[in-house]
Amino acid sequence: MIIWIGVKSPRSQDYEYADFFCLTYFWNYIEVRVEFHSFEPVIIVYRNLLSRAQVDRFLADIKLKQENERSHGLPANQGDTSTSRPKEITMTHRESNGAAIAFDQIQTFIPVINLTVSEPWQILSYTAGAHYPPRYDFLNNTKDTFTQQNGNRFATLMILLKKAKKLGHTIFPAYNITIELEEGDAALWTNMNGEGQKSVASIHGDCEVLSGEKVTASLRIRSKNQFLIKTSGFAGTYDMLLLARPRLDIRRLMKSLNERDDIHDSDLFHETSRFL
């Protein structure tokens, strides 16, 4: 069941070079609120993707792992002790109940993205003074085994688990976009188009935390078996409706189209549009 509640029209004065609108719909009787900030690269915010209880569970598991690593004398930043950089740990997709619940929740609400080929959870903890300079997630060096098997970093999904008391927002400087997330919100952006070319405007950074602590959990998702790539249109553009208005039977549709040998990837976009 999908019901459209409202759509907010773009305001050019907000983002000079980007597109913006928001909508609310119900997916399996659960309200989903989505904000579109850009079409190329795709930049989307999902509000309240995780509940308060799910956020707290994930945070508790992260804290436990951090304490265990400290007790065993393991470095959090792989030798980088700079206080200006966030502390980093990684967790497998289902290393803890909190991580597994978050992983399943994302896969449920964003069914057209194959999360099984994503890298482990990247957990970043920012204390006051910490920031992350603008960078690309897209890899220029693709000779490692994991990339050879699973492709480049097609997209990144970042969940905010703990919000800083002051600042610490995520920015996309190419479009002058600043995204302010609340705890449980998630930002999704693509790092490449459907033709495999790096999205130049996907460069992103995290502003300095002035007070409090910020904790994020990110999945850097690889390109292997991505339905969005197979259904991309002219010049590698993605079908945004697959991300914001998925059919309840989208998994059946994906399976049926992927199993067809008589259809080329370039034709999938037109084939899929008949069902939307």
Average pLDDT over residues 75-100: 83
Residue 27 belongs to some domain of the structure: no
Q: What is the CA radius of gyration of the chain?
A: 19
pLDDT(82) > 80: no
Q: Minimal CA–CA distance to 51: which of 16, 101, 3?
A: 101
Please report whether residue 5 resides in a domain. no
Task: Note the pLDDT of residue 243.
Answer: 87
What integer is the mean pLDDT of 146-160? 98
Distance CA 37, CA 53 (A): 28
209 in Cβ contact with 141 (< 8 Å): no
Which of 20-34, 67-81, 115-129 is predicted least confidently?
Answer: 67-81
* Average pLDDT along the chain: 86
Residue 209 domain-assigned?
A: yes
Q: How many domains does the chain have?
A: 1
In terms of average pLDDT, the best of 2-6, 138-142, 236-240 is: 138-142
For residue 161 the two structure tokens come to: 């688990």
Domain CATH number, residue 205? 2.60.120.620
Q: What is the pLDDT of residues 158-204, one digit of tens each?
A: 999 999 999 999 999 999 999 999 999 999 999 999 999 999 999 99
Residue 143 predicted with pLDDT over 80: yes
Give the whole-angstrom CA distance, residue 147 versus residue 210.
36
Position 3 scores a pLDDT of 38
* Confidence category of residue 13, pLDDT binned at 50, 70, 90: very low
DSSP letter for 61, please: H
Does 64 reside within a domain? yes
Q: In sequence order, what are the beta bridge partners of 171?
A: 178, 205
Residue 270: predicted pLDDT? 46
> CA-CA distance, 70 to 94, in Å (whole number)?
21
CB 35 within 8 A of CB 175: no
Residues 117, 223: Cα–Cα separation, whole Å: 8
80 lies in some domain: yes
Q: What is the pLDDT of residue 23?
A: 85
Find the domain containing 53 and state its range.
34-273
Is the residue at 242 inside a domain?
Answer: yes
User: What six digits make up the tokens of 230?
Assistant: 């197979």
- At 162, is the secondary structure helix, strand, or coil? strand
Residue 55 lies in a domain: yes
Is the residue at 3 inside a domain?
A: no
User: Given this model, what pLDDT does residue 8 score?
Assistant: 40
